[in-house]
Amino acid sequence: MAMKAAKSPLDKVLGRLDDLDQVNLGILVQRLARERKLLETVFDVIRDGILVLDEEGIISYSNRQGRRIIGLKEEQAGKVSLLRAAPEIARALGLDRKSNSSVAEVVVREMKISYPDQRYVRIYAVPIDDNSSKQDDRKVGLTIVLTDVTEEKVNLEEQLESERVSSIMDLAAGVAHELGNPLNSIHIHLQVLQRTLEKKEKVTPKSKASLSTCLKEVERLDGIISHFLKAIRPTTPDFKKINLLSVIEETVRLREKELSAKKIKIRMEAGAREPVVNGDVEQLKQVFFNIIGNAIDAVPENSDIRIVTGIDTDHIFAQVVDNGVGIRKEDLPHVFEPYFTTKKDGHGIGMMIVHRIVRDHGGDVGIDSKQDAGTVVTVRFPRKSPQHGLLESTNPEPSSNETKFIDS
């Protein structure tokens, strides 16, 4: 006696449909349509992306988030394969092979995709298997859940970077502190020597000038170390209303020796309104000390360095413009990274400090550079400060740049 083949769940459902009359069948179809619409609405509001692939790898269903993650248009569902719509994900699941038997098991992995935007996604893929088929090489569909973990990943990377920068800052602070001790000793001995020479009658003017120069250099170095230590220590900025232009001019004076040695002129271009910001004076001095120092190193002798200050709708800004060697395009993304430098004798922490201080002031730093053409470093601070509200200019007339030269 011949055995009857076991019916699949679909065969059983279709058998029951044959028993329905036209009215009941219509009611059933309407109910199924409502339930499908409800499920689609629910799937469209959840944060995870959902893709359903048929046995040929065609995307038969996708919710709104799933389409957003892979850049799929709604009308493409049912027509486009995952391999075509999101080849990176398809390859990660092995769908670029002729047989997709390799995805007959649950797959969980995290990866970075580049289309339509760079983002990190967590993939959870579950096979849709028809158990009625006994073939070993049968093809199966897939349900794929995509979770956008970009923000989580970025936050983790920022935390790790912050910890790394903090350890570098601690190391740099220790080195600077150790330099300060012998420098103080040298300063004291030079002062003693100066007083001794003043009591002597036969002292040449050249000797007095040399000693005076040594004292000034030690004092200058001491000031640089003091500013450096105040800048790199993770202290909360002491916010006060300050004139950014005055801070920059004072910082330029700290660089007088280097400017004079290379016969460089600083050309200040200030707007009609005074650029008043909420900031920490010493920390902002360190910002422009580092930026101006980089410009001095980059330009040839007898050059001009322009420093432009101004106010726009939302920001108070300062730009340091040079016509120096510039920065290679491939190096620009790494400028603010610790220990990255393009100088032979550089240490790679100057621009990292600049970035941290400006960020702590609620501002941002931008660099526009072209190799062998020059560099523009733009520092922007918000006009509206959380500490003091809107910063009004002390001179409200329309902006018009006034150029002033500072000779060294």
- Rounded to whole angstroms, the Cα distance separating 394 from 270 reads 14
Question: Which two three-digit tokens encode residue 233?
Answer: 């220590």
How many structural domains is the chain composed of?
A: 3
Pairwise pLDDT comparison (206 vs 87), residue with the higher score: 87
- The verdict on 290 and 389 lying in the same domain is yes
166 in any annotated domain: yes
Hey, which of 215-219, 242-246, 346-350 has the most confident mean pLDDT?
242-246
Strands 304-311 and 265-270: parallel
Across-strand partners of 127? 142
Helices 205-232, 150-199: inter-axial angle, 10-degree rounding: 160
Q: CB-based burial of residue 291 (10 Å sphere; 0-12 exposed, 13-18 middle, 19+ buried)? A: buried
Question: Which position has the higher pLDDT, 8 or 350?
Answer: 350
CB 95 within 8 A of CB 83: yes
pLDDT in tens, 298-307: 999 999 999 9
Let me know whether 228 and 249 are in one domain.
no
| Confidence at residue 86, expressed as pLDDT on a 0 to 100 scale | 92
Mean of per-residue pLDDT scores for the chain: 80
* Same-domain check for residues 130 and 163: no
Rounded Cα distance, 295 and 318, in Å: 14
Asked, for residue 18, whether it belongs to a domain, the answer is no
Domain boundary among 148, 165, 199: 148
pLDDT of the residue at 231: 57
Question: Which of residues 395 and 58 earns the better pLDDT score?
Answer: 58
pLDDT digits (tens, 9 = 90+) for 16-58: 555 556 666 667 677 777 777 777 777 777 889 999 998 888 9
The verdict on residue 172 lying in a domain is yes
> In b/e form, how buried is each residue of 91-121, taking b as 16+ CB within 10 angstroms?
ebbebeeeebbebeeebeeeeebeeeeebbb
Per DSSP, the residues of 187-243 read HHHHHHHHHHHHH-S---HHHHHHHHHHHHHHHHHHHHHHHHHHHHS-PPP--EEEE
- For residue 180, the enclosing domain spans 149-234
The Cα–Cα gap between 52 and 61 comes to: 5
Please answer whether residues 381 and 316 qualify as being in contact, where contact means their C-beta atoms are separated by less than 8 angstroms.
yes
pLDDT at 390: 44
d(CA 297, CA 295): 5
247 and 386 fall within a common domain:
yes
Q: pTM of this prediction?
A: 0.50
Examine the domain organization and report whether 221 and 279 are in the same domain: no
Same domain (yes/no): 395, 260:
yes
Confirm whether 4 is domain-assigned: no
Do the beta carbons of residue 289 and residue 350 sit within 8 Å? Answer: no
Residue 15: the pLDDT is 56
Helix (H) or strand (E) holding 291: helix 281-298
Distance CA 335, CA 324 (A): 16
